[in-house]
Chains A and B, each alone.
Chain A
Amino acid sequence: MPQDREIAIEVQNAVKHYGTFTALKTISLSIRDNEFFTLLGPSGCGKTTLLRMIAGFEDVTEGAIYLYGDEIDRLPPHKRPVNTVFQNYALFPHMTVLENVGFGLEMLGKSKAEARARAGEVLEMVRLSQFAARKPSQLSGGQQQRVALARALAPRPKVLLLDEPLSALDLKLRKAMQVELKHLQRETGITFIFVTHDQAEALTMSDRIAVMSEGELQQLGEAREIYERPRNVFVADFIGDTNLMEVTVDKVEGSRAQCHLGGGHKLTCDSVDGIGPGAKVHMSLRPERLFLSADPVEAESLSGTVRETIYIGTDIATVVELEDGPQFTIRSSNSTRGNARVFEAGTPVAVNMEMGAARLLVD
């Protein structure tokens, strides 16, 4: 089977049933060596199930999982050279921080001295050396998080699994930990598999993202690819904000498609395979790829009226209603350098879009 040293984890046609409920419907994916890989999706999409199958806490109903070429899906958790950072950390409350971090090495049969030395080294890495003698309950949430990370890294796993490890932290700490995790991954060179339901977190941290929904893989690719070229309605809607609306295709020319919106407004979209004239499909338009002007600047500008202006801080969002048509949200950067003009509610405006901003999607 796969012998490639470049592939850390290979999931082949993995299926998971719980009784009559299907948690995973035939998933196949390859996770590369030394990659920060994210499983992203809403709760119940099967991402945690897949992670737990790799860790060994759930058995595989059908299919196989390989770790650097070795089939591991029948091994018990303690025989798999992967470690997990749990969502609730699961730090052993009756042990000190140092004992927690050294536990894995001790179980691997290392001497107490060796386990302690390595635990100290990893604690240094997460900047917690001064807390080595404390009990986990004496640490803050962020510190506990780093202990959990240190504990999982100490035995030098081939792959590190992270099950929504940042979800219990407040926003500021979470952002700091995102950066720290990314650094740790580069420093250690260990493959990270990160589970999250937070799309912004996934975009920030990942080399590649697998978007999942209802037990199926929706799209796999780099952050930019997922965001800019979503493959279907689910991905476009789940990742970032978008204006998602139904259009009718009039004419297809190469990779471009002439379409019209409900109110008859015409626009040119990036097309996808298998769409022909007359098709009713969804179109995604990212709010930041639209801009407003008092008068139309292009032939394809859409005219409408400002309904609402929302101040976001970094950005300003403007909701525009087209004549007897749908509503668009437009985001512009709140910078003094730009020519972003704030339009009051009730003003007539033109909505302009960058070339290739509108994308057709399959359902």
Chain B
Amino acid sequence: MAKPYDLRRYPGFFGITILCLVILYAPLAVVAVYSFNASPSITIWEGFSLRWYVDVFTGPESAKFKEAAWNSFIIAIAAATTATVIATLAATAVLRTGKFRLRTLSVGLISLPLMVPEIVTAVATLIFFNAIAFERGLMTILFAHITFCIPFAYMPISARMQGIEASYEQAAMDLYATKRQAFMRILMPLMMPGIVSGFILAFIISLDDFIITNFVKGAGVETLPTAIFGAVKQGIKPNIMAISTLLLAVSILMVAFSWLIGRRNQVEGR
């Protein structure tokens, strides 16, 4: 059914689409493909091999990468969990307490960090830790990550909560549930897809962060991104491609998981 003004019929539509997709995904595809290269070269294909994956786990740099990966995951899980709890409470406070005078300002303050250039936040956070004489290390990374993860967790959670009419909780309270029971039995389950999305987004953002981490980390403390950056400075080896591909796989798995949760809920809800 071709409509007369169907966007797909504009000249060049197909070409532009392909161009955008190539620019977006070709580098990722190249990295993923060459991570399976048998050659130590990053440009010449010499056949399929898992040697660089083996190198990541057992090679000379493996200890460094393992520790960095461990740090990254611990920080990402801790930061995403804390940020999700804070964001859930913030969304409840902003959206479930009626209209209050500073509501717009509150929402603005929560989401502003998304607009602030990351380098500014990084410098400011560093200066702050220095000012209070907080020794740099894993803890400084964790605190910084919790902070910048909050707005990312807040967005899907508040979007979901806005879609849940107040009448559900009112119905629960009308049916003799206390405020707390209404929150736990009704609002929380209905918000779960938003909370899961918020957590996953925060997790990926934290896992992936380089700029702020690089500023606030203590000497000798590395996360995966800073470790990769350190390794790349010595020259790009295919093991970096293997690590990158693994990270990419983790991201894809998380997003797929989030999508499945959302879809299941869509089928159930309304």
Contacts and interface: CB of A to CB of B under 8 A. Distances in A.
B190 A93 contact: yes
A119 B165 CA distance: 25
A88 B178 CA distance: 22
A78 B176 contact: yes
Contacts of B171: 84, 86, 90-92, 151
Interface string B229-270: 000000000000000000000000000000000000000111
Interface string B169-191: 01111111111010001100110
B167 A78 contact: no
Nearest to A151: B175
A220 B87 CA distance: 50
24 contacts: A56-B173, A57-B174, A77-B170, A78-B175, A78-B177, A82-B174, A84-B170, A86-B170, A88-B167, A90-B165, A90-B167, A91-B171, A92-B168, A94-B268, A94-B269, A103-B172, A103-B175, A104-B176, A107-B175, A107-B176, A137-B269, A151-B171, A152-B175, A155-B176
Contacts of B170: 57, 77, 84, 86, 90
A55 interface: yes
A137 to B, nearest CB: 5
Contacts of A77: 170, 173-174
Contacts of A296: none
Contact of B167 (A86, A94, A135, A136): A86
A185 B217 CA distance: 70
A338 B165 CA distance: 53
Contacts of A104: 175-176
Contacts of B176: 78, 104, 107-108, 155
Contact of A84 (B174, B185, B190, B269): B174
A77 B190 CA distance: 21
Interface of A: 55-57, 76-78, 82-84, 86, 88, 90-94, 103-104, 107-108, 135-137, 151-152, 155
Interface in B142-197: 165, 167-168, 170-179, 181, 185-186, 189-190
Contacts of B179: 76
Contacts of A94: 189-190, 268-269
Contact of A92 (B173, B181, B186): B186
B173 A76 contact: yes
B181 A90 contact: no
A92 B179 CA distance: 16
A135 B174 contact: no
Nearest to B192: A94
Nearest to A109: B176
Contacts of A78: 173-178
Contacts of A56: 173-174
Contacts of A57: 170, 174
Contacts of A136: 270
A92 B176 CA distance: 15
Contacts of A137: 268-270
B140 to A, nearest CB: 40
A17 to B, nearest CB: 15
B174 A83 contact: yes
Nearest to B170: A57
B181 A107 contact: yes
A77 B173 CA distance: 6
Nearest to A82: B174
A84 B169 CA distance: 12
A56 B168 CA distance: 15
A94 B270 CA distance: 9
Contacts of A135: 268
A281 to B, nearest CB: 44
Contact of B174 (A55, A93, A108): A55
A351 B181 CA distance: 65
Closest 3 A-B residue pairs measured CB to CB? A104-B175, A107-B176, A90-B171
A51 to B, nearest CB: 11
A92 B270 CA distance: 9
Q: Which of B172, B175, B177, B269 has the most CB of A within 10 A?
A: B175
A155 B269 CA distance: 25
A83 B172 CA distance: 10
Contacts of B178: 78
A203 to B, nearest CB: 28
Nearest to B267: A137
B173 A93 contact: no
B168 A90 contact: yes
A108 B1 CA distance: 57
